[in-house]
Every structure is written in structure tokens, then in C-alpha cells.
């Protein structure tokens, strides 16, 4: 039980209550006793003086009148059997006493408390020596015995007789004390019970939270913790702890998911890279070896053919490594962009010019719609040129002869929108969400596969991402494809 928080809290409370109870009982007994003595002494304050005034012949000169003393003692015993009376001489020596012989253990009584009592300067209770017990002091009443105004001694009345001396004795003899003790024990037991219940109630949410944490850990931190809805409404520390843990677990689960995904895509990427590098390299190697081995037996045409194929594969390899290198640079945590204002219209004209020959060779038409007054845009001109290159290169690749390419710039709302459209084979709807993924290539049934690495669009998208612009595509198979992106007009 001490292993749970509520158990520990309850044990701490038990110890606290016991300590407080012991202190409280001790203090109560002490105060009760003092109060009892004070009341006793106040009630018996005039007792000795009354005896002296009622029995003036207690002393005969310097001697004790034993008969009168016995008479006075008998009378007092009738009124209160628990008192003891003593006759003291002016120095405090006991001259006569009422107790049975042998019970009196002292020969004299200290006079200081007696004088204090008579002066009335000290508050009650004033305790004086108990003649029956040298170790003990008791409350008393005292009166001087005067004869012709000369002090003959004192009448010393010990009040309360056999007073309760120990706690055990007090409990044994007092019903009220026993009742009080019983009630106190019942109150402690009740408080403990209430304490246990309230601690277990207060720590219930902590137990729930621990359970949720265990579940989260058991799920290998994949399933975010879900607390009950009402937890969010409260505002105490446990609620906040729960909410914070919930957010934290969501974050951890999401990050772990991302890490797994990243790890998976990294593996996939590595597999793709090695596959895409291995294929052209193996072909290149094969053609070169053929050229080397069959050098004498090859006709000039065959040799040219093998050399052409080798060159094609080496171009492909060089393009692939170039694109991989480009992607790796763009994937750095903080890729350096050389952002500056530039004329996107001029850039678009240059790119169109660059591709014009290839467009013509493929039997395609190219339309441009580039306003002369298009505003400057802000960005890395080298990288944006790469975006245009990749998109126009694709448009050329995937459009059959006779088709049309369109390159347009449209200024709108502080941005310049660039559109690269073609009337080519288009992209099937199911493939459209994936074409920007690395190494993703649409599998086409008809015609020979167009040359490519599957990295062109991924690079274009990453570049535009770094410029804060999305790259969107609209396409219908057989109709064509239109790629659009926007660049912010430069303030300069
Ligand atoms: P690739 O080097 O294969 O062209 P990309 O990343 O540039 O790689 O393009 C990915 C895929 O998207 C291509 O395999 C192609 O099928 C498709 N695609 C890209 N642009 C066009 C386009 N203009 N028309 C039709 N399909 C396109």
C-alpha cells in the first residue's frame, strides 16, 4: 500500500495526526490539571482563615492546643474528607498534623509559597510542600496564627488530599476523561477514514494519467495518449499535467511516425538510386566491353551504334548524378538561396529561346505569352531557371509531334504566375498526387518509355518550396498537362 501515492499520503497523515494527538492530549492534561488546582485553591482560599477565626484557641501561648486542633480537624473532615491540616511554627516546622501517624514524611514546610499565598500577589495555583511526600507539591490554604499581634505559627491546609498524580490514574478514576479519550480516538479514526477516502479520490486522476502513460509506452510511443474529455475543462495542476502529457505524446507519436516515414523513404531512395545508377552503368560497361572484345569483327556502323548507345547512357548517368547532387544540396537544413530581384520576363524569354531548336526538331509549336511590363520577382534566378528547364523539358518529352507548348506569365495580386502547358499525353488522375515524389515515373502502356530520371519534378517542387510557392498541376489524359507556380513581385 505504501507504494502508491495515496497510501503514502495517508501514512504521512496518520503520523501527523498521531503527533498532533499526543501533543494535544499532553497539553490538555497539563492545562486541565492546572485549572483543577486553580479552582481547588480558589474555592479553598479562605478555608485556613475560617478555621483560625472559628477556633481562636488553637494555640495556647507557644504550645498547640491539641484538643482544639482535633476538634477543628474533625469539623473540617466532615465538610471535606480529602483535606489535611497542619500547624506550623513561624519557621515552618510541623507542630501538629491531622494525618495518621507515620504518614507525614517532612518535618517542615517551605514558607515562601505560604507567604506568597498570604500576600495575594501571585496568581493561583500556588503549590506548597506536601508533608506526606518530600517529592511533591500541592495546592493549599494557609492563615497566620496570631496571639497579641505576635505570629505564633501558621495553619497549613493541604487541599485536594490524594490528588491524581499520573495520567493512567486520572483515566482510571475519571469517567469524563475516559469519555473524552474515547471520543478523541473515534475522531482520529474518523479523520483517518475521511483522509484515506479523499486522498484516494484526489489521486484518482493521477492513477488514470499513469495508466495512460503506461499505455502510451506500451504502444512503443506510436499511439498518442487520449485523456477523458472532462480533463481538459479543469484547471488544476493534474489537469494541466495531463493536457501537457497529451500534447507531448501527440508530438512524440507524430515525430516518431515522421522518423519512420523518413527512414522508409530514405531506404526507398537508396534502393532507387542504386537501381537507377546500376542499370545505365551496367549497359555502358557492356557496350564498352563489346567494343573492346569484338573490336576487329565489328563493322563501322555497328561500332558507331555501340558508341552512340554508350554516349546516351553516360549522358543519362551524368544527368542522374547531377540531379541527385542538386537534390542533396536542396535538402540541406538551410540551403543557401541567392535571392535577388530579377526580370522573370527576361528569364522566360531566354529559356524559350534555349529550347526553341529542340522544340522545332521534335515538330512541336511553342507559344509564349510574356508581358513586357511583367514586374520583377524576387528569388534565386539560377534555381528558378532550373524549374522552367525541368517543366519545359517534360512538356517536350511528353508531347507528340504536332502538339503545342505554351509558356505564359500573368501578373496578379503582387505575384507573377508562371504557366507551362502542353497538349501532350497528360497524366492519369491516380498518378497526379505522386508525380512530385522522388523517382516516381508514370507507367505508360503505349509507346516507348520517355527518357527520364523521375527527379525533375521533385527538384522543381523543392526549389519552389524554398521560395514559398506551391507547384500545382492540372491534367487530363490525352488532353495535356498544365503546371503553375507563383513568384512574389519584388518591391524594388
Ligand atoms: P521524369 O524524369 O521521368 O520526367 P519527372 O519528375 O520530371 O521525371 O516527372 C515525373 C513523371 O510525371 C514522369 O514520369 C511523367 O510521366 C509525368 N510527367 C511530368 N510532366 C509531364 C507532362 N508535361 N506531361 C505528361 N506527363 C508528365
Question: pLDDT tens-digit profile of 170-209?
Answer: 667 778 878 888 898 898 889 888 888 888 888 888 888 8
Q: Output the pLDDT for position 370.
A: 96
CA distance 245 to 226: 10
Nearest atom of ligand 1 to the alpha carbon of 459: 6
* Residue having the nearest C-alpha atom to atom 25 of ligand 1: 426
Whether residue 320 has pLDDT greater than 70: yes
Is the separation of the CB atoms in 416 and 487 below 8 Å?
A: yes
226: phi > 0 → left, psi -120 to 50 → alpha, else beta; which? beta
CA dihedral 331, 336, 337, 338 (to 10 degrees): -150
Nearest atom of ligand 1 to the alpha carbon of 424: 24
Class of domain 45-158: alpha beta
* Residue having the nearest C-alpha atom to atom 13 of ligand 1: 441
CA 66 to chain centre: 87
Q: Output the pLDDT for position 96.
A: 82
The preferred substitution site among 269, 330, 394 for testing ligand 1, maximizing ligand atoms within 8 Å of CB, is 394
CA distance 388 to 464: 11
Q: Output the pLDDT for position 166.
A: 58
Q: Output the pLDDT for position 404.
A: 97
Q: Output the pLDDT for position 170.
A: 67
Q: Mean pLDDT of all residues in the chain?
A: 87
Is the separation of the CB atoms in 364 and 403 below 8 Å?
A: yes
424 CB less than 6 Å from ligand 1?
A: yes
Distance 356 CA to ligand 1 centre (A): 20
* Residue having the nearest C-alpha atom to atom 12 of ligand 1: 435
Poorest-pLDDT segment among 79-93, 154-168, 376-390, 459-473:
154-168
Domain 274-330 classified CATH 3.30.365.10? no
Nearest atom of ligand 1 to the alpha carbon of 395: 23
Is the separation of the CB atoms in 344 and 377 below 8 Å?
A: yes
441 CB less than 6 Å from ligand 1?
A: yes
Q: Output the pLDDT for position 95.
A: 84
For the segment 248-265, the average pLDDT, to the nearest whole number, is 90
320 CB less than 6 Å from ligand 1?
A: no
Architecture of domain 340-488 in this structure = 2-Layer Sandwich (3.30)
Task: Give residue-wise pLDDT tens across range 375-416.
Answer: 999 999 999 999 999 999 999 999 999 999 999 999 988 999
For the segment 420-426, the average pLDDT, to the nearest whole number, is 96
**pTM more than 0.75:** no
Q: What proportion of the chain, given as a percentage, has pLDDT over 90?
A: 39
CA distance 489 to 141: 111
Nearest atom of ligand 1 to the alpha carbon of 425: 25
Task: Give residue-wise pLDDT tens across range 430-468.
Answer: 999 999 998 888 987 766 666 788 899 999 999 999 999
Amino acid at each position: 500500500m505504501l507504494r502508491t501515492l495515496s497510501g503514502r499520503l495517508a501514512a504521512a497523515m496518520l503520523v501527523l495526526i498521531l503527533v498532533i494527538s499526543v501533543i494535544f492530549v499532553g497539553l490538555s492534561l497539563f492545562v486541565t490539571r492546572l485549572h483543577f488546582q486553580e479552582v481547588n485553591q480558589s474555592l479553598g482560599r479562605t478555608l485556613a482563615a475560617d478555621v483560625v477565626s472559628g477556633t481562636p484557641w488553637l494555640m495556647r501561648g507557644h504550645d498547640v492546643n491539641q484538643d482544639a486542633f482535633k476538634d477543628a480537624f474533625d469539623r473540617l473532615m466532615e465538610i471535606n474528607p480529602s483535606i489535611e491540616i497542619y500547624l506550623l511554627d513561624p519557621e515552618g516546622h510541623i507542630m501538629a498534623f491531622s494525618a495518621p501517624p507515620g504518614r507525614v514524611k517532612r518535618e517542615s514546610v517551605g514558607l515562601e509559597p505560604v507567604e506568597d499565598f498570604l500576600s495575594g500577589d501571585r496568581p493561583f495555583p500556588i503549590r506548597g510542600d506536601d508533608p506526606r511526600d518530600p517529592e511533591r507539591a500541592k495546592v493549599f490554604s494557609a492563615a497566620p496564627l496570631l496571639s497579641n499581634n505576635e505570629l505564633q505559627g501558621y495553619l497549613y491546609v493541604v487541599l485536594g488530599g490524594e490528588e491524581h498524580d499520573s495520567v493512567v490514574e486520572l483515566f482510571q478514576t475519571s469517567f469524563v476523561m475516559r469519555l473524552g479519550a474515547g471520543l478523541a480516538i473515534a475522531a482520529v479514526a474518523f479523520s483517518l477514514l475521511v483522509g484515506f477516502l479523499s486522498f484516494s479520490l484526489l489521486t484518482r486522476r493521477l492513477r488514470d494519467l499513469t495508466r495512460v502513460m503506461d499505455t502510451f509506452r506500451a504502444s512503443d510511443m506510436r499511439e498518442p495518449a487520449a485523456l477523458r474529455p472532462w480533463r481538459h475543462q479543469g484547471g488544476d495542476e493534474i489537469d494541466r499535467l495531463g493536457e501537457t502529457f497529451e500534447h507531448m505524446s501527440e508530438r512524440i507519436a507524430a515525430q516518431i511516425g515522421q522518423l519512420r516515414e523518413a527512414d522508409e523513404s530514405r531506404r526507398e531512395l537508396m534502393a532507387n538510386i542504386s537501381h537507377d545508377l546500376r542499370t545505365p552503368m551496367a549497359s555502358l560497361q557492356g557496350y564498352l566491353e563489346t567494343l573492346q572484345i569484338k573490336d576487329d569483327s565489328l563493322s563501322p556502323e555497328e561500332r558507331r551504334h555501340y558508341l552512340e548507345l554508350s554516349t546516351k547512357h553516360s549522358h543519362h548517368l551524368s544527368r542522374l548524378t547531377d540531379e541527385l547532387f542538386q537534390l542533396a544540396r536542396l535538402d540541406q537544413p538551410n540551403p543557401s538561396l541567392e535571392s535577388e530581384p530579377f526580370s522573370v520576363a527576361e528569364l522566360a524569354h531566354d529559356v524559350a529561346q534555349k529550347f526553341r531548336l529542340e522544340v522545332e526538331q521534335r515538330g512541336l509549336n511553342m507559344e509564349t505569352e510574356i508581358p513586357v511590363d511583367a514586374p520583377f520577382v524576387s528569388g534565386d534566378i539560377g534555381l528558378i531557371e532550373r524549374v522552367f528547364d525541368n517543366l519545359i523539358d517534360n512538356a517536350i518529352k511528353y508531347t507528340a509531334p504536332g502538339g503545342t507548348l505554351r509558356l505564359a506569365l500573368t501578373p496578379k495580386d503582387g505575384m507573377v504566375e508562371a504557366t507551362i502547358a502542353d497538349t501532350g499525353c497528360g497524366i492519369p488522375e491516380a498518378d497526379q498526387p505522386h508525380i512530385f515524389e522522388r523517382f516516381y515515373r508514370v507507367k505508360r502502356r503505349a509507346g516507348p518509355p520517355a527518357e527520364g530520371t523521375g527527379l525533375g519534378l521533385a527538384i522543381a517542387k523543392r526549389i519552389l518550396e524554398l521560395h514559398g510557392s506551391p507547384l500545382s498541376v492540372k491534367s487530363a489524359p490525352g488532353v495535356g498537362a498544365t503546371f503553375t507556380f507563383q513568384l512574389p513581385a519584388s518591391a524594388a
